[in-house]
Structure 1
Amino acid sequence: MSVIDEIGRSKHVSLVSYRKDGTPVATPVWHVTEGNELLVVTEARSWKVRRIRRNPTVEVTVCDLRGRIKTGAPTATGTARVLDEAGTAAARQKLAKKYVSSRIGNWFARLVRLRRPPLVAIAVTL
């Protein structure tokens, strides 16, 4: 089984982006794989988006919900890019298919008309 397949089967991955000084910052995220790309949705004004716009090199490692990485977990290095509105909408739909919690959260937000910050999708080419 390839690294991309193992990453695609996992529930969470640690997305490592880099600060200006080169310090790595790991964030556990939900993801969906599509071919050799990994799709992640996050708030548009998050620090990870700012770091990726400055330096698109990222590292992806299988982790648990809290971001803990087991010894020997599959890891891949890739190049990230921020997607437009259409790409973000498509990524959100794919994430909703994979994660029930996402569907429930989106439904609840619409039900009570919560104001949500703008979202953006990140595509990582592995």
Structure 2
Amino acid sequence: MGDLERLGDAKYVSLTTYRKNGEGVPTALWAVREGDQIFVWTVADSWKVKRLRKNPKVEVAACDMRGNVAGAPVSGTAAILDGAQTERVRRLLRAKYGVVGRLTVLGSRLRRGKDGTVGIAITLTAGYTHG
């Protein structure tokens, strides 16, 4: 199994974004794979989104819900998605995570509204192992 499949199949991934001083900040998130990208979903005004606007470089590793990494990290670049693309990520997450995914996405929409969350597309950089 290649990095793309391993990360896409993981229940959680640790997404590391970088501060201005270069310090990495990891966050455990749900993840789903479609095509050659990994997608995650988060609060639109979170610090990780603010960091990504300044520096799209990331590292991704499989982890547990507490962020304890369970595999080697893989470098990549991240892009913040627009509303239609974010809705696609929500659909993918609902499909992967079943009832819990549907309830979580619904609860988030009720608390934050449709624009309160954003999808992030992660493209692994050259050198990753693919299937």
Q: Which runs of 5+ in 1 are unaligned?
A: none
Aligned counterpart, 2:14? 14
Residue identity matched to 1:86: A
Greater per-residue helix proportion: 2
Structure 2: unaligned runs, 5 residues or longer = 125-131
Alpha-carbon deviations, 1:16-59, whole Å to 9, x = none? 00001100000000011112211111111000000011000000
Q: Name the aligned partner's letter for residue 10 of structure 1.
A: A
Query: Are 1:124 and 2:122 an aligned pair?
Result: yes
User: Number of residue pairs matched?
Assistant: 121
Q: Which runs of 4+ in 1 moved over 4 A?
A: none
| Percentage of pairs with the same residue | 45
Q: Which amino acid aligns with 1:28?
A: A
The separation in 2 between residues aligned to 1:89 and 1:35, in whole angstroms, is: 17
2:103 corresponds to which residue? 104
Distance 1:84 1:25, change over 3 A: same
CA RMSD between the two structures: 1.7
Aligned residue among 78, 82, 94 for 2:76: 78
Which residue identity lines up with residue 74 of structure 2 in the other structure? A
State the alpha-carbon separation in 1 of the partners of residues 55 and 68 from structure 2: 24
Matches within 5 A, 1:42-121: 42-70=42-70, 73-100=71-98, 101-107=100-106, 109=107, 114-116=110-112, 118-121=116-119
With normalisation by structure 2, the TM-score equals 0.86
- Amino acid in the other structure paired with 1:115: R
**Partner of residue 32, structure 2:** 32
